[in-house]
Amino acid sequence: MKEAQEFLDEMSRKGFNPPARGRDLLIEGLLNAGYLESAKEMVNKMTKGGFVPDVQTFNTLIEAITKSGEVEFCVEMYYTACKLGLSVDIDTYKTLIPAVSKIGKIDEAFRLLNNCVEDGHKPFPSLYAPIIKGMCRNGMFDDAFSFFSDMKVKAHPPNRPVYTMLITMCGRGGKFVDAANYLVEMTEMGLVPISRCFDMVTDGLKNSGKHDLAMRIEQLEVQLRGV
């Protein structure tokens, strides 16, 4: 691996442009061998020289780096690579959007989602759910609800995990009426809530003095499960 890198460096010093695929293979080799810092250094050298890896190599690299916790490095690298002409794909966004959402950078997550849409992709639940979760974590429930309504129109339909997450986050935030509404909405879409969601919502409603609504949710569970 070291010899390969030295060979490419020597080619560059002599004024030759090493083949792009050779650089990509070296980056992939460094990642597979666990040399993350060396792979990052290699990509930095490439971008400074005006080169970018292919999208598959780029995605493998940012996936490894985000797992190590260096999310902001990946975001910077994404913008640099795009400026140099890299055409990213949906997998790029599937890595970056959840990563930035998880560390609370909601504005950045929205920028990336907008870029994703501009690139012609219709957002999957796996792209917009992390943003909703991040907003709820930050106490931005009204914004999260509004964004979710928007996604139901413009993106792929929400699935069971999205509703489960949203109901759970509402419960944690004391938004039990909203949680109940999403529980009902979920069933209207033909999705069956997990028992934990029913228990959390009914208990929360009862503790909040919303006994009539709690009873309706309990009746809904009986209708669905026949218990």
Q: Is the pLDDT of residue 124 over 60?
A: yes
Reading phi first (left if > 0) and then psi (alpha if -120 to 50, else beta), residue 100 is in: alpha
Query: Does any domain span residue 148?
Result: no
Count structural domains, the chain.
Answer: 2
Query: Does any domain span residue 193?
Result: yes
Structure token digits, residue 115: 């870029």
CB of 184 closer than 8 Å to CB of 220: yes
Domain end (from 46, 62, 78): 62
Give the other-Cβ count within 10 Å of 109's Cβ. Answer: 25
Return the SS3 of 34: coil
Q: Is the pLDDT of residue 4 over 60?
A: no
What does the pLDDT read at residue 21? Answer: 60
Question: Would you give the DSSP letter of residue 104?
Answer: T
Q: What is the mean pLDDT of the chain?
A: 89
* 53: phi then psi, degrees, rounded to nearest 5: -70, 170
Whole-structure pTM value: 0.85
Domain end (from 11, 29, 62): 62
Segments forming the whole domain that contains residue 41 = 1-62
Domain end (from 40, 62, 84): 62
Query: Does any domain span residue 25?
Result: yes
For the segment 40-73, what is each residue's pLDDT rounded down to a tens digit? 888 888 888 888 889 999 999 999 999 999 999 9
For the segment 132-188, what is each residue's pLDDT rounded down to a tens digit? 999 999 999 999 999 999 999 999 999 999 999 999 999 999 999 999 999 999 999
Q: Is the pLDDT of residue 17 over 60?
A: no
What does the pLDDT read at residue 15? Answer: 45
Query: Does any domain span residue 84?
Result: no
Query: Does any domain span residue 177?
Result: yes
Higher pLDDT, 170 or 20: 170
Provide the pLDDT confidence category of residue 126 given band limits of 50, 70 and 90: very high
Query: Does any domain span residue 124?
Result: no
Provide the pLDDT confidence category of residue 8 given band limits of 50, 70 and 90: very low
Query: Does any domain span residue 198?
Result: yes
Give the other-Cβ count within 10 Å of 90's Cβ. Answer: 16
Query: Does any domain span residue 190?
Result: yes
Q: Could you give the percent of the chain with pLDDT greater than 90?
A: 74
Among residues 58, 81, 62, 82, the alpha carbon closest in space to that of 72 is found at 62
CB of 169 closer than 8 Å to CB of 182: no
